[in-house]
Chains A and B, each alone.
Chain A
């Protein structure tokens, strides 16, 4: 059974076809890289998979379940987590509160209007555990406004990991990072166990190529090439649309 199977997915904004007949088959535990020039429809594909956009046609299966029409808020409960290309965090709160919100999102406790959130000891413990994985537990109580861009990237990843996803969608996790920060995040991603399937969009080829086992190349909303790392890199069409001449 595939972890994620996308079949003949189409989406158009008016006359602009941003996703055209996309097929994607990601096996459990796989590390998949999605590449393509700007405007290729990579983030749109993620938004379709996570349900923030509804496809015009086609289907999406998560571990064999058809989730094409499932509301996006249900998908984290089915084991899907994502990070955003543009950092989307809670700016007025502390790092640990950000992670707590991620944990609460999957807990029935999220509807509780009576209990003091600070009394949920396991919430703090689990939050610290997630922050330890990204190396931020020592500054857990720092307000997000006092953190660096690289740290925020890692908070994004910690929030996704805190939800114990079966599949993790990473939208350009290296964007805007310095070389050192990139290396840290790279190590962090390599350390994620194989029971998490990962799909990553990335422009930064040197780190991304090392990460990926299979690569899908999108261009104008279509899958142009798909195969192993070596196959895709060697393919002349890849050179033509993406890697330059």
Chain B
């Protein structure tokens, strides 16, 4: 890997420093909580992006997976077991559910894949809503308290933010490593030319299956962070709107890019929780923003901005060149 130099490295350092000091410069607990939300939604979006961006498989049922992890956490805690048991169960159940999702939906790609995942998501939603003995139905499940990783309390907003930040950075590193790996390259190959990949000796289904499992793991992790943050899980978090929302995060930020889903998550969460305090019709605003993105930067905010930046840089460079020539 080449060492990071130039403006790119500077951006990374500044972003990392800004993330690490959020509790110090954010005006109050509310905004620190919004930052935590951005981070666990970003993990969710990173997970979905593994499928949407790198595998070319659009899932509309991922909220169901997030919900399963969140409900598992709540149910295990409610049954009197500890936090470790709850988190472990949530992750395992999330992975098993993803495996079931994958086996059923990887029979198809394209529209077929979307429709099967959509149906599976709706089944999960139906179960959450109706299987009241386990899920509490419409009332959901309330949690009481958060775990104490390494004996540290994460009850305060800033402590929870830091816990989320650590998990987020690990998740981002994992995705970065995966994308650069042979398996990551193979996954993108199956997105662009599945037939050729097969003829080159790759197990296309197997590669997609492991991509699903990776995506499922990230989704389950974000589900656990989600439920510990809100201390509450109800069918509303599992519905189709939630699946569509995270898909919009991925697409608006830039599918198939590392940072796109993070920016997308930040955009959606900020409009939803902050801007909604000032504008009653925030849904309309969010819709308008999405329309603007699709028209101006159909590839998403991150690659779109990079493109405009390069364009501006080149134009500025050309102008400098002209000036230099004009001088005798």
By a CB distance below 8 angstroms, the chain A residues around B185 are: 97, 100-101, 104, 117
Question: Is B199's CB under 8 angstroms from A110's CB?
Answer: no
Sort chain A's interface into a size bin: 35 or more
By a CB distance below 8 angstroms, the chain B residues around A111 are: 182-183, 210
Question: Is B204's CB under 8 angstroms from A73's CB?
Answer: yes
Question: Is A116's CB under 8 angstroms from B181's CB?
Answer: yes
Per the bound structure, the CA–CA distance linking A114 and B181 in Å amounts to 6
By a CB distance below 8 angstroms, the chain A residues around B144 are: none
By a CB distance below 8 angstroms, the chain A residues around B214 are: 113
Q: How far is the CB of B131 from chain A (nearest CB, A)?
A: 35
By a CB distance below 8 angstroms, the chain A residues around B281 are: none
Per the bound structure, the CA–CA distance linking A120 and B204 in Å amounts to 22
Whether a CB of chain A sits under 8 angstroms from the CB of B21 is: no
Q: How far is the CB of A244 from chain B (nearest CB, A)?
A: 34
Whether a CB of chain B sits under 8 angstroms from the CB of A76 is: yes
Whether a CB of chain B sits under 8 angstroms from the CB of A197 is: no
Given the known A-B contacts A97-B185, A113-B183, A117-B185, are A73 and B201 also in contact in the complex, defined by CB atoms under 8 Å?
A: yes
Closest to A73 in B: B198
Given the known A-B contacts A50-B199, A105-B201, are A110 and B186 also in contact in the complex, defined by CB atoms under 8 Å?
A: yes
Given the known A-B contacts A101-B189, A105-B202, are A88 and B183 also in contact in the complex, defined by CB atoms under 8 Å?
A: no
Interface of A is mostly: helix
Whether a CB of chain B sits under 8 angstroms from the CB of A128 is: no
Question: Is A113's CB under 8 angstroms from B200's CB?
Answer: no
Closest to B206 in A: A111
Question: Is B193's CB under 8 angstroms from A90's CB?
Answer: yes
Question: Is A113's CB under 8 angstroms from B210's CB?
Answer: yes
By a CB distance below 8 angstroms, the chain B residues around A118 are: 1, 180
By a CB distance below 8 angstroms, the chain B residues around A92 are: 188, 192
Question: Is A72's CB under 8 angstroms from B198's CB?
Answer: yes
Contact with B along A180-219 (1 / 0, CB 8 A): 0000000000000000000000000000000000000000
Q: How far is the CB of B320 from chain A (nearest CB, A)?
A: 27
By a CB distance below 8 angstroms, the chain A residues around B259 are: none
A102 touches which one: B177, B178, B198, B200 (CB < 8 A)?
B200
Given the known A-B contacts A73-B204, A116-B1, A118-B1, are A84 and B196 also in contact in the complex, defined by CB atoms under 8 Å?
A: yes
Question: Is B199's CB under 8 angstroms from A82's CB?
Answer: yes
Per the bound structure, the CA–CA distance linking A31 and B165 in Å amounts to 62
By a CB distance below 8 angstroms, the chain B residues around A119 are: 1
A120 touches which one: B182, B183, B196, B200 (CB < 8 A)?
B182
Residues of B within 8 A of A (CB): 1, 177-178, 180-186, 188-189, 192-193, 195-204, 210, 214
Given contacts A88-B193, A102-B200, A117-B185, list 17 more A-B pairs with CB under 8 A.
Answer: A50-B199, A73-B201, A73-B203, A89-B196, A101-B186, A105-B200, A109-B182, A110-B182, A111-B210, A113-B178, A114-B181, A115-B181, A116-B1, A116-B180, A117-B184, A118-B180, A119-B1
Residues of A within 8 A of B (CB): 50, 52, 72-77, 82, 84, 88-92, 97, 100-102, 104-107, 109-120, 159, 163
Can you show 29 pairs from A to B with CB atoms below 8 A apart? Answer: A52-B198, A72-B198, A72-B199, A73-B204, A76-B199, A76-B201, A84-B196, A88-B195, A89-B196, A90-B188, A90-B192, A90-B193, A92-B188, A92-B192, A101-B200, A102-B200, A104-B185, A104-B186, A105-B201, A105-B202, A106-B200, A109-B182, A110-B201, A110-B202, A111-B182, A111-B210, A118-B1, A120-B182, A159-B200
